[in-house]
Amino acid sequence: EPEVTQTPSHQVTQMGQEVILRCVPISNHLYFYWYRQILGQKVEFLVSFYNNEISEKSEIFDDQFSVERPDGSNFTLKIRSTKLEDSAMYFCASSSGTGGFYEQFFGPGTRLTVL
Amino acid sequence: RKEVEQDPGPFNVPEGATVAFNCTYSNSASQSFFWYRQDCRKEPKLLMSVYSSGNEDGRFTAQLNRASQYISLLIRDSKLSDSATYLCVVTPTNDMRFGAGTRLTVKP
C-alpha cells in the first residue's frame, strides 16, 4: 500500500538554527500539506500546496516557514531561526484531490526538538 | 467558541461497552467532516468520513447534524484495540481543522 514517508524521524537542533523537514508524498497525489502537533495538544494546520504554490496557510505559517517541492517526489518544510516553541511533531500529508472529500494520508511525522 | 470542540475525556470503558463521542464546530460553512484516530505518538489515520445522512462502518456509526453543528461517533462492542485518541476533523475550506481529541481506553 502506498504511503507518505518523512525524514528524519527525529531532529534535534539548537535554537536559532535552520531545519529542513522532508516528505515524500504518495506518488500520484497532487495536494500536499504540513501540520504540526505540539506535545499534548491538537493537530494544527500549517500550509497546503498545489501546482507548485501555496494554496492556503494558517496564521502559524509566518515568514519563518517556507515550503518547496524541489523535485518530482520531495516536499519540504523549512523552518528558519528555530525557537523553543517550534518543538513539535510535524506531519506531512497528501491527497489526490481537494475540497475535503478526498482523504488526506499522513506520514509518520518528524519530531523536532529545539534546545 | 473553539473551531472544533470535543468531549475532553478520557473515557475508560470495559470491553464490549458502547461509547459515544461528541463534537461541535463553529464554522457553519464547513463542508466535510471526518473522524480520525491517533495512537500514541503516531500519525492520525482516517477512521471514517461523516455524511449528512449518517453512516455506519461495522461497529462504528457517525452522525452529522448541520443545524446544530454537531458530529458524533458511536462505537459498539468496544475492543481493546479501539484504545486511542479520536479526533473530530472539519474542513471549512480545503484544509482540515482538528479537535483536541478524546482519549479512549478500553480495559479487559
Q: Which of A89, A98, A103 sits opposite B94 (nearest CB)?
A: A98
Chain A residues near residue B31 by CB distance under 8 angstroms: 99-100
Distance CA B50, CA B12 (A): 24
Among B82, B86, B93, B65, residue whose Cα is nearest residue B6: B86
- Which residue on chain A is closest to B103 by alpha carbon? A40
What's residue A100's pLDDT? 61
Helix, strand, coil percent values for chain B (each to nearest 5): 5, 55, 45
What's residue B51's pLDDT? 82
Q: What is chain B's mean pLDDT, rounded? A: 92
* Cα of B49 to nearest chain A Cα, Å: 8
- Three cell numbers, residue A35: 501540520
Residue ranges, chain A, pLDDT below 70: 99-100
* Residue A3 vs residues A29, A52, A80, B25, B96: alpha-carbon distances, Å: 11, 21, 28, 30, 19
B52 Ramachandran zone, left/alpha/beta (phi>0; psi -120 to 50): alpha
Helix (H) or strand (E) run with residue B60 in it: strand B60-65
pLDDT digits (tens, 9 = 90+) for B58-86: 999 999 999 999 999 999 999 999 999 99
Check CB contact under 8 Å for A45 and B96: yes
Average pLDDT for B102-107:
96
What's residue A99's pLDDT? 67
What's residue A67's pLDDT? 97
Model confidence at B93: pLDDT above 90: no
- Which residue on chain A is closest to B96 by alpha carbon? A45
Radius of gyration of chain B (CA): 13
* Cα of B70 to nearest chain A Cα, Å: 17
- Which residue on chain A is closest to B98 by alpha carbon? A43
